[in-house]
Structure 1
Amino acid sequence: MNIEKAMHKGATWVSPDTPITEIAAMMKKDDIGAIPVGENDRLIGMITDRDLVLRALPNGRDPGKLKARDVMTKGIVYCKTDQSIEDAIHFMEDKKVRRLPVIDKDKRLVGMLSLSDVSHHASRELSGELVKAVASPHMH
């Protein structure tokens, strides 16, 4: 099965100048945990709910003054619509990510592939491998 059949179609993305308070409100409204960040028609990063908590709140920073660029994970990992779900699983395992933006042949953002999408469309064995890889505890 290819990624296009398993992904959530459509994806919202924000500019690096979007206030994080607006991003948090989007996440709450749409019940999502990650939003891609784009600039000049290119993906440049990703903001997860974890990024908001760990990068925006510590050290007395004022969340009301922070923008996406201040808390996003720079660099972007993604998959393509025509790749197999197995390829995406191995990529997610390797990068230890739970969500991937999906781009089409024209390099346009067309969807998101999440751990839950994978669990509904891949074999139990492959889904289990992915969960084990991305859910492992962080070592200090």
Structure 2
Amino acid sequence: MKLSIRLDLGASLTKSAYQWVMGSHASAPQYKTFCSAVQRITSTEYERGQYADNNTSLLSIGDEYWSAGENARDPVTNVNLRQPKCRNAIAKILAVVGQVIAENVPVDSQSELHIDLGVLLPLNEMGVPLSCPAV
């Protein structure tokens, strides 16, 4: 099974187009939007699932914890359009890909999953390392 997904990491909205491929058969393209807010949270908030719902993902990256989506405490109204898109890229990518997989792949699935990922960034950010937000 393969997930082919393309992400546009917009300042106010993360947009995705994805398609499932099994052998020579591909599903119809599907689309998902996701709030672009990303906020660092405590390990306690992460463990309690304090910000988790269908529009928010909780992420653990090493010993750092993040909320990405609508319930992130970073308000969308404070979005800076000049802020590099790559700044929050890893958290946004993991949040959207994780939700797409969670919504479509049974938890007990034994299938091997391959991901074909494309990330759209402005031309001036090509080659810039992707990262999570600074504390």
TM-score class, shorter:
under 0.3
Looking at secondary structure, tell me which structure has more strand per residue. 2
TM-score by length of 2: 0.28
**Alignment TM-score, normalising by the size of structure 1:** 0.27
